[in-house]
Amino acid sequence: MPIAPTVPPLNEKPLPSEKTAHRRARDSNGVEALIREMMKKHRTPLMILRKSQLIKQYRRFRRSLPQVMPFYAIKANPHPKVIKTFIQQKTGFDVASAEEMRLVLSLGAKPDKIIFANTIKSAEDIIAARKCGVRMMTCDNESELYKISEHYPGAHVLLRIKVENHLSVVNLSLKFGMDSDMALPMIRKAKALKLHPVGISFHVGSQSKNVENYLQALEITSQIFIEAQAAGIPLSIVDIGGGFPIQHFDSEIGINFERMAVQIQKQIKLLFDKKVKFIAEPGRFFVGPAGILVTQIVGRTFRNNKNYYYLNDGVYQDFSGMIFDHCKYEFKTLRRGQKFSSALAGPTCDSFDTLSLDAEIPELYVNDVVYVKNIGAYSSASAVSNFNGFHPAKIIFTA
C-alpha cells in the first residue's frame, strides 16, 4: 500500500474557535455559577449535561466537515435526552447491540439513520436489526459475513479495516478490523453471499490526536475503492469512524479539531469521487464537553506527606473513564488559594479507588466542591450502579 502524502505545514495562526486565556477564565466563571445554582437544588455527586454544548459540538463538526454525516456513537453517553438532542439535530446513530438500537428507535430515530457498527453481532441481534429495518452494519471477518447473510439477506455491509492508531489514547485496532489486503476478497465474498458490500469503515482509535491516522486510513480506503471499482463492485460509502479528540485540560495544547478537519477534508477531496458518501461515528467529541461532574469532599486526612481528600464519587462510578477510557481529568475547586500537590480518592473501601496523587488544589475542607469539566463521555456510561453501596452521580440535563 502506498503511504499517505506528506502533510502540509500547519497554519500556526490561531483559528477563531481557539479560546483565549481570557475567554477561558470567563467560561470557568460561567461553569462555577452554574454549579452553585445547581447545588441549591440538588445533592452531589451531580453530573450536569449541557444541551447547548451538545449542539455546539454538533455544529462545529458540521461546519468543519460539511460533507461527512455524523452518526453519534451512543456508547459514549446513552442518556435519552442526549440522544433526543441529536435526533433533533438530524444526526444518525452508531449502535453496537440490539438494545442500543431499540433505545434510539424508541426515542424516534429513523432506522435508515442507524449503523450497527459492532463487527461482531449475535444472530439474535442481526435478526433484531432486520426486524427493525436497520440494514447498514459493519463487518471484518468471513464468519460474520456468513452469519449476516443467513439472518439478514441483502443487508448493507461496510467492511472494517485495521488502521494505524498511533498516538490515540484508546487503541481500537487491537480487537477490530481486517488487514486491508483482505478487503477485496471480502467484498467479493459479500457479493457472492448476496449481501450489499457498500463501503469501507475504519476507526483510528479514541481521542486520536494525530490527524495522520485519518489521512493514511483514507489513502488506504481510496485504494480499496479503486480495486473494487475495477472488480465491478463499486463502493459508495466511507465511514471514517470516531476518535475526534477533545480538550480535557484547560492548558492542553495540540488538540484542535478544526485543524484536523481541514486536512481530512482536503484528503477526501483529493482522493475520492464527489459521489462517494462520507459518514463518521463521533462519540467523545459530541458529548464530552457537555459534562460537568460535581463532587464534594466527604473526609480528609494527612498521609504520605500530603493531604488526602475523599470524594463522594470515584473510579467505580463517574470516574470509570480513568480505567476503561484511560482518561485523565483536571480537578478544579470552587475554593481559591495557594495550591498544593494533594491526593484525591473515591468513597469505596478499595485503594484502587484513587483518582490522583498529585492534584494541584488549595487546602480543602469537608463538604468543599471538587469538579471536573469535559467529562460527558465514557463516564456515567460505564459507572457501576451500586458497588459498596455507592451510586453514580445524579444526572441533570440542562440548557
Ligand X SMILES: *Cc1c(COP(=O)(O)O)cnc(C)c1O
Binding flag, residue 76, ligand X (CB under 6 A) = yes
How many whole angstroms separate alpha carbon 364 and alpha carbon 362? Answer: 6
Instruction: Report phi then psi at 222, rounded to 5.
Output: -65, -35
Single out the segment in contact with ligand X by CB under 6 A; choices: 97-105, 240-248, 299-307, 366-374: 240-248
Query: Contact between 242 and ligand X (CB under 6 A)?
Result: yes
- Closer CB to ligand X, residue 117 or residue 235? 117
Q: Per rule CB under 6 A, is residue 332 in the interface with ligand X?
A: no
CA distance 309 to 346: 9
Q: Any catalytic annotation for residue 327?
A: no
- What is the C-alpha separation between 166 and 390, in angstroms, rounded? 37
203 binds ligand X (CB under 6 A): yes
For ligand X, the binding residue among 75, 79, 162, 248 (CB under 6 A) is 75
Number of residues that bind ligand X (CB under 6 A): 17
Q: For residue 159, how many other CB atoms are within 10 A of its CB?
A: 30
241 is a contact residue toward ligand X (CB under 6 A): yes
Q: How far is the CB of 324 from ligand X (least distance, A)?
A: 11
Grid cell in block for residue 41: 437544588
CB of residue 72 to ligand X, shortest distance in Å: 9
Query: Using the rule CB under 6 A, is 330 a contact of ligand X?
Result: no
With respect to ligand X, which residue has the nearer C-beta, 285 or 310? 285
Residues in 90-109 at the binding interface with ligand X, rule: CB under 6 A: 94
Residues 278-297 that bind ligand X (CB under 6 A): 281-285
Active site members: 349
Site for ligand X, rule CB under 6 A: 73, 75-76, 94, 117, 203, 206, 241-244, 281-285, 377
